Structure 1
Amino acid sequence: MKYLLTLSLILLAACGSENRNVSQGSDLSAVRTRLAAGTSDLSSPLMTSKDLFESFSKESGGLVQNGRSVKFLIDFRAGEAASTINFINSNFSGRCKIAQGKDCSQYHFDFAREKFNIRNDIDAFNSQTYFTQAKSFGAGTLSRYTIEGKGEIYAVQLYPQDAAKEENILSIVKIVKKALSISSAKIVFVPTGNQQSVAEVKEQLAALSVDVLTLDDILGASSFIPMHPGEAWGYLRLFPKDQEELNPTDIVIFDELPLDLTVVAGVITKSFQDTNSHINLKSKERNTPNMILRDAGLENANLAPWIDKPVHFTVTKSGWAIEATTDEVIVNKAKNRLNKPWIGIKWSATKDLLSYDEMCANRASKCLTLGSLYGSKAANLGFLKEVFKDKNVPDAKVLSYDPVPNGFGVPLQFYQDLLNLPANAAVKAKLDSFIVQEKSGLLSAKDRSALALEIREMILNAEVPAENLTKILGMMKKVDPSIVKWKIRSSANAEDIENFDGAGLHDSYSSKTETKDNAEHSCKLVLDDEVEPGELSKFKVKPKTVSCAIKGVYASMWNKRAIDERSFARIDHATVAMGLSVLPSYDTESPVAANSVVVTRVINSPDILGYSLSIQKNNNTVTNPSPGTWSELTIAAVGGTNEKATLSTLRYAKPLPNEDVMKTSVLDNETTLYMYSLTRKVELAYCRAKPGYYRQNCDDVFFDNEKPKALDLEMKYLQNGEFVIKQVREFSGR
């Protein structure tokens, strides 16, 4: 396990010998002469050329990925006038003298020990470097980016939790600028924490010809943003009109973000992607390349010649490439990816309906074993119910309400009962035949899509066993007889499981207990015309009965995207079953003020400790954003065990296609930090309840950037000031 308690912004791997300090007031001519001849030192007091920057730098692992970065450390112990700066050589392979057996260029603390022989422990170093204005050391990075309208820039950045502001930042920028003599270098300061204000020193920075840019400025002006590095072999497809016709060997260029992402070999989008969107999370789960390219299209000379051709596509943190390949290579690569046995999912039968309140029987760990009976989504809601019986929240006020909705789980067996009902024999026969064809690997995308649609329509017109429907309606009355509007959500045994989260594969439907089925018990899906501006257009069942909502969810087990995903993961379709998570509509008590997704690691930034929070205004969706919209991306950065989280907003939300990007965060800082605290409570409880989630001390799970798994939570924030936690699942992507 590796802790980033040194609070180094960029992970840079090297160590080496020590070189002498040079004061900012010293004659630097001798140093410049020596550097011009080249150096292999652990550090340098000057950054004199692009070549030197290139030799010292590594690809960024911070909040912005598409650049190269060099760490620096400023020694303020003798005062600003006598301060010294060292740019740290991340690519030196020499031997560390003091930090023996460690990489003394990887973290600022280890470098300080090696360079200055400091005797402070890590907590004292952090306090004197990051969490004070009276700094003994100033630690940060110099990052090089290329952005539209400004060309190549060199950005001075501090760690997101650094308390530096105003004069403190001005001092650091002055020192870096004086030591940077790269010809025509454009220097900017980029705050990475919301507390790093420079309003009072903007004029002084401007006098130094130093602009202040936000992280949003950098991301918004970058034509290329790597979302998930990797390589793929396939056929480059431009702006497909019908995802149902895409194949796993297609590398797809999307003009607008698709609402769902079927299995493809790689993704390029013109539109901005949220790091917590299903597109990015799916790419990470599948380990397929994904990037944003704002000028993607026929006008791009690097893409146009390859449209519909067999290509080898590569994405790295610093760039992308496309080159020719052959049909034979693509076929062989696809075969290699699928050359593994089908995996059966074991599940158990029960006819019991369990409310989330009673599911755990006072043991949170018990709920996490019930996925084999009810599916993980329902079982995990039972777990959350148990966790929040204790209303204490770390570093936050005690809860006065329950953030987990009431409701109950319907077992997987009820799905099987529908298929086994004699009246539904034709459905089961059709499904069994389809599974054989799908596992043969011979179905085309078009045939698969047509057969899947036929199966879904047959399930929508099937009979729900009367005894099971009566039990479900009875349980609704038991949980809360006053509620009429109920949400029926999927809880399949093939979602929210280890190494396969199944996000976005299945559908949920609303129902009303007062609505009656038609005489034929038939159901159909129609476009919902009741959505608010900015909300995702979706389908609803008609009539809006409980039985139609149940069948709608069961039918979604056979969405083409779900079939494709299971086949890609080699999950045996003959062993899948659908449980149900039943709960009241989320806006029963109050209208929705914001939607959010929280992942308990900083996605795409392996060197930042904290959580990723994607937040969207009102009931607009985060995971599948409507075209022309995106959610806010904020990082809750953490340091040591005694340090509180700080917020860094990378991107402000755009709630509606025809409105401007917001100028402020969706929620205030206090509310956003409370969301972080709720998530932290959940992760600690999950770590303690789930064997194998984290094999170290669970008290350290928040501070380990190398933990093998993370959690993915979906929440709503209501206008009455209460949070509703919709679900929690494991996430293995990075």
Structure 2
Amino acid sequence: MTFIFVIALFTFLVGQNNISISGTVTDAGTRKPLQNATIHLADTSYKTLSQSEGNFSLHVKLYSDQDSDSLIVRFSHIIDVLSWNFNTPAQLRMFALNGDVIFNQNSANTSGSVSTAMFKNAYFIIQIISDKGKYTYKALFINNELFISKLKLSSNPEKLDLDSLYLQKENYYDRTIALDSTSMYDFDKLNIQLLNKQYFELSYFNELIRREAFDMIKSSPPKTNFGEVESIKVIVDSSSGLVYYINSQIYTDHYSFATDMMDYPYSHHKFNSEQYNAGSSRYLYPITLNYFKDLDVYTFEFFSGDGATCSEVEWCYEKILQTSYIKNNLLFYSTNASWDLCKNVPTITPNEIFNNQNYQALNVAKSYGYLRKIDFEKITTESIQKHDIVLTNGVPIDIPVVAGLITTEFQTPLSHVNVLSHNRGTPNMGLRDGFQNPKLDSLLNQLVYLEVSRDSFYIRSATIEEATIFWNSIEPSNPITLEKDTYSRGLIDLEKASINDIKKIGGKAANFAELYKAFNSMNMEAPLPENYFAIPFYYYQSHLEKYGLQTFIAEMINNNDFNSNTEVKKRLLKKLQDSIINSPLDTYLLDLVTTQLLKDKRFSAYRFRSSTNAEDIEGFNGAGLYESFTGKIDDNEKPVDMAIKKVWASLWNYAAFEEREYFKINQQSCAMGILVQRTFGEEDANGVIITINPYNANPAYIINVQYNELNVVSPPPNIINDEVVIYTFSILGVEPYTLEYNSYSNVYPNSTEHVMTKEELFTLAEYVTIIKQHFFINVYKCNCSYSSYGLDIEFKVDSQVSPRKIYIKQVRPY
């Protein structure tokens, strides 16, 4: 096609042409045609109504309006080449709608040309600069026809509001459709959906045309490791090109939707094996679309075991952009290291989400208590009561029995204070703006009701009547007297002990004995720290009786001032501890222990670990309540006898005493044994595992692991662990487990390595599986399913004996 036309300055539109804009209007939720919707071409008098089948057509006449100006511009468009002539030298530049330069005639000339092959059905901006001024035009190519309109004078091209269609219908949200090259529409084949303001039955949308549509189908996220998140499920269908935004309030998994609404004919197993795999049978892409309130961003993610390639990830990204209102606010959340190579899609990391979150749910629960704001530095000196809900600007290592905990620093899910909260059944949450939060400020020192849920929290003032009813219903009321054997003497060979020996050596040592049995039953070498044994209760009890401390304990516990005055209680407990430590250790016991330590010449330093009958047992976890100490052979700075006595004395730590009081444990029935094992010096890594998945229903282990000996359960401020979800299945069947990272260690921020390799994590998962199966069947019987059976396991990665050997350090009920 060839045509020549002339533009004079202030020309409005050149050419005697018509544009036809036509299509159909349908309901976004029912996909049925809509009649009597108004379609209006913005800033013109052109409008029409949709007909009974939803169809409409607008015929727009374009016209010429010239005047006499001295600058004359002649354009010609011949076979994909746009040429121009000026009556005076001028420079011509062309811009995309976002301001990017796409053509620049560097010097002033009276003529020039450019190929228009790239401009099929596209808008762009033409700017002409001459000694008579600077003039800007908007150009549109449609079906090889060129239309040019004069714009307002502008010194710089800028992003423009485009010509658009405006649609309205009663009881529907208005909608504007931009008629530009980035649109998914052809001008003569428009299929425009409108969103009803209310649906009584709604299964899905094929377009997510505005925020209200997202709100209609959103639900809580399928995994809950982040707070204040809204979520919907999505399936992208490569066979039809359609995107299905699923009503996630109705469909809790992708497979159910695929069978109900997409006529997927096969089993759930086949769906998982084919539609999460990069094979030839795949045509569906199950996705989760999340909105993070704190960041005001949307993310899309695949299941971490999905076999999607980077090109498939990028294609799904483009499909969501084309069919949703989200546009430039969409980021890819990668949960699998293989997707870190996907460079053509904007991404967000777990750490970026974590660092920008304001709310973190740790232990989901509800409670009543007095909201108290306590500076972290004073947490150990303040008088804290069991009916206090403590708001503090840090993460304490432990905290006395309280009704709830709010920290302004985020915690690890396996921190001691969270394990204690889990054991107590009290709410625990992180809130970064907690010390400046107006809602919390308005309720300080008042009796409140606090409810922590996975994606938000609720707090209000409460009455003493409702609080009292609640406290009476949940607090322990029946006294507990623990069984203890103070007659068995001699060091205990843990390879011959069992869980039945809690009454003799305490929970930690008895559980350790079961670790040996778990691996021995599989004919495997137990991955346990070398040269382990236990010191039974007998020697602790003998130490107390020898120095009259048993009598001191009885008198202390019956002292009215001790029971009514916190400061008196702390002072007398400290006096008891000092007496235990300062009284000489029985030389016979010291000789026994030293002889055993010398049996393994590889190690000179040993860890003496608390093991009471009120610790690491069902119904009383006791995480962090007692202390462990290192003793070294022939070392005056860390002598073995002092390590033993310090462990014994830790039975009477104030926090431990108060925890036992809360659970109505008879204090005089408690005793301290000691688990002894070689200590670790500069280990490669250390970590904690729980054997249940607190984030979603899929069976998994949750691992927090950190480099070297950096504290995992109470990390320093601003330090993040590797947190890995190890799903105990693999959809693709290639590997035994599926790894998903919730956060990455930031200790070495420039490193591309994880704290543990994939192979090491798989080995660790095998160890955990052996332990969980043994304890579930043989040790702690619970009225629960295997998947919900929780154990708390500590481990080390150490190279002293062999390179990066994994050791299981301890296990206890979670």
> TM-score scaled to structure 1, two decimals?
0.77
Q: CA deviation at 1:505?
A: 0.7
The reply to whether residue 646 of structure 1 matches residue 646 of structure 2 is no
Q: Which amino acid aligns with 1:152?
A: D
Q: Flag the structure with higher helix content.
A: 1
Q: Is the 8 A contact 2:195 2:213 kept in 1?
A: no
The percentage of aligned residue pairs carrying the same residue is: 23
Q: Which amino acid aligns with 2:311?
A: E
Query: For residues 152-551 of structure 1, what are the structure 2 equivalents within 5 Å?
Result: 152-181=296-325, 186-200=329-343, 202=344, 205=345, 211-232=346-367, 233-240=369-376, 241-244=378-381, 245-297=383-435, 299-325=436-462, 333-338=470-475, 340-353=477-490, 356=493, 358-360=495-497, 367-389=498-520, 402-421=527-546, 424-425=547-548, 427-436=549-558, 442-477=563-598, 479-480=599-600, 483-515=603-635, 544-551=638-645
Q: In 2, distance between residues paired with 1:349 and 1:25?
A: 83
Q: Which amino acid aligns with 1:649?
A: Y
**Residue in 2 that maps onto 1:43:** 204
Q: Deviations over 1:70-89 (max 9, x none)?
A: 1122334x3xxx23332332
Distance verdict in 2 for CA 1:51–1:550, change over 3 Å: same
Q: CA deviation at 1:32?
A: 2.9
Q: Is the 8 A contact 1:653 1:662 kept in 2?
A: no
Q: In 2, distance between residues paired with 1:661 and 1:564?
A: 44
Distance verdict in 2 for CA 1:30–1:435, change over 3 Å: farther
Query: Please, which moves more after superposition, 166-175 or 190-199?
Result: 190-199
Query: Please, which moves more after superposition, 449-458 or 380-389?
Result: 380-389
Distance verdict in 2 for CA 1:316–1:581, change over 3 Å: same
Q: Which has the larger radius of gyration?
A: 2
Q: Deviations over 1:701-732 (max 9, x none)?
A: 4xx3xx2x21111111113311222101111x
The reply to whether residue 562 of structure 1 matches residue 656 of structure 2 is yes
Q: Which amino acid aligns with 2:214?
A: F
Q: CA deviation at 1:30?
A: 7.5
Q: Is the 8 A contact 1:388 1:404 kept in 2?
A: no
Q: Flag the structure with higher strand content.
A: 2
The reply to whether residue 109 of structure 1 matches residue 255 of structure 2 is yes
Distance verdict in 2 for CA 1:339–1:281, change over 3 Å: closer
Q: Is the 8 A contact 2:692 2:699 kept in 1?
A: yes
**Residue in 1 that maps onto 2:92:** none
Q: Which amino acid aligns with 1:418?
A: H
Distance verdict in 2 for CA 1:229–1:50, change over 3 Å: farther
Q: CA deviation at 1:333?
A: 4.7
Q: Is the 8 A contact 1:355 1:407 kept in 2?
A: no
The reply to whether residue 685 of structure 1 matches residue 774 of structure 2 is yes
The reply to whether residue 711 of structure 1 matches residue 799 of structure 2 is no
Q: In 2, distance between residues paired with 1:25 and 1:228?
A: 49
Q: CA deviation at 1:640?
A: 5.2
Q: Which amino acid aligns with 1:322?
A: I
* 3-state SS, counterpart of residue 32 of structure 1: strand
Distance verdict in 2 for CA 1:482–1:652, change over 3 Å: closer
**Residue in 1 that maps onto 2:233:** 71
Q: CA deviation at 1:458?
A: 1.8
Taking only aligned residues, the RMSD between alpha carbons, in angstroms, comes to 3.3
Q: Which amino acid aligns with 1:263?
A: V
Q: Is the 8 A contact 1:357 1:382 kept in 2?
A: yes
* 3-state SS, counterpart of residue 273 of structure 1: coil
**Residue in 2 that maps onto 1:631:** 721
Q: Which amino acid aligns with 1:235?
A: L
Aligned pair count reads 625
Q: In 1, distance between residues paired with 2:317 and 2:778?
A: 47
**Residue in 1 that maps onto 2:101:** none
Q: CA deviation at 1:482?
A: 6.1
Q: Which amino acid aligns with 1:617?
A: Y
**Residue in 1 that maps onto 2:693:** 602
Distance verdict in 2 for CA 1:691–1:631, change over 3 Å: closer
Point out which structure has higher relative CO (alpha carbons under 8 A, 6+ apart): 1
Q: Is the 8 A contact 1:352 1:411 kept in 2?
A: yes
Q: Deviations over 1:606-649 (max 9, x none)?
A: 23432111111111111232344342212223335955223222
Q: Which amino acid aligns with 2:315?
A: S
Gaps of 5+ in 1: 1-17, 93-104, 206-210, 361-366, 394-398, 517-542
Q: Is the 8 A contact 2:305 2:730 kept in 1?
A: no
Distance verdict in 2 for CA 1:586–1:369, change over 3 Å: same
Q: Which amino acid aligns with 1:636?
A: I
Q: In 1, distance between residues paired with 2:536 and 2:32?
A: 68
Distance verdict in 2 for CA 1:49–1:450, change over 3 Å: farther
Q: Is the 8 A contact 2:218 2:248 kept in 1?
A: yes
Q: In 2, distance between residues paired with 1:687 and 1:492?
A: 22
Distance verdict in 2 for CA 1:660–1:191, change over 3 Å: closer
Distance verdict in 2 for CA 1:567–1:140, change over 3 Å: farther
Q: CA deviation at 1:225?
A: 2.0
Distance verdict in 2 for CA 1:341–1:355, change over 3 Å: closer
Distance verdict in 2 for CA 1:627–1:350, change over 3 Å: farther
Q: CA deviation at 1:491?
A: 0.8
Q: In 2, distance between residues paired with 1:239 and 1:375?
A: 35
Gaps of 5+ in 2: 1-28, 34-183
Q: CA deviation at 1:695?
A: 6.3
* 3-state SS, counterpart of residue 564 of structure 2: coil
Q: Deviations over 1:180-216 (max 9, x none)?
A: 236x78222211222333534x2xx3xxxxx311122
Distance verdict in 2 for CA 1:676–1:25, change over 3 Å: farther
Q: Is the 8 A contact 2:690 2:791 kept in 1?
A: yes
Distance verdict in 2 for CA 1:170–1:694, change over 3 Å: farther
Q: Deviations over 1:593-614 (max 9, x none)?
A: 11111111233x0234321111
**Residue in 1 that maps onto 2:813:** 730
Q: Is the 8 A contact 1:35 1:48 kept in 2?
A: no
Q: Which amino acid aligns with 1:497?
A: I
Q: In 2, distance between residues paired with 1:28 and 1:635?
A: 47
Query: Please, which moves more after superposition, 350-359 or 611-620?
Result: 350-359
**Residue in 2 that maps onto 1:60:** 221
Q: Deviations over 1:417-443 (max 9, x none)?
A: 22233xx21x212211333459x9953
Query: Please, which moves more after superposition, 29-38 or 268-277?
Result: 29-38
**Residue in 1 that maps onto 2:247:** 89
Q: Deviations over 1:234-270 (max 9, x none)?
A: 2322324132422222222222221223222222222
Q: In 1, distance between residues paired with 2:195 and 2:210?
A: 13
Where in structure 1 do 4 or more consecutive aligned residues deviate above 6 Å? 18-22, 24-31, 390-393
Q: In 1, distance between residues paired with 2:358 and 2:424?
A: 25
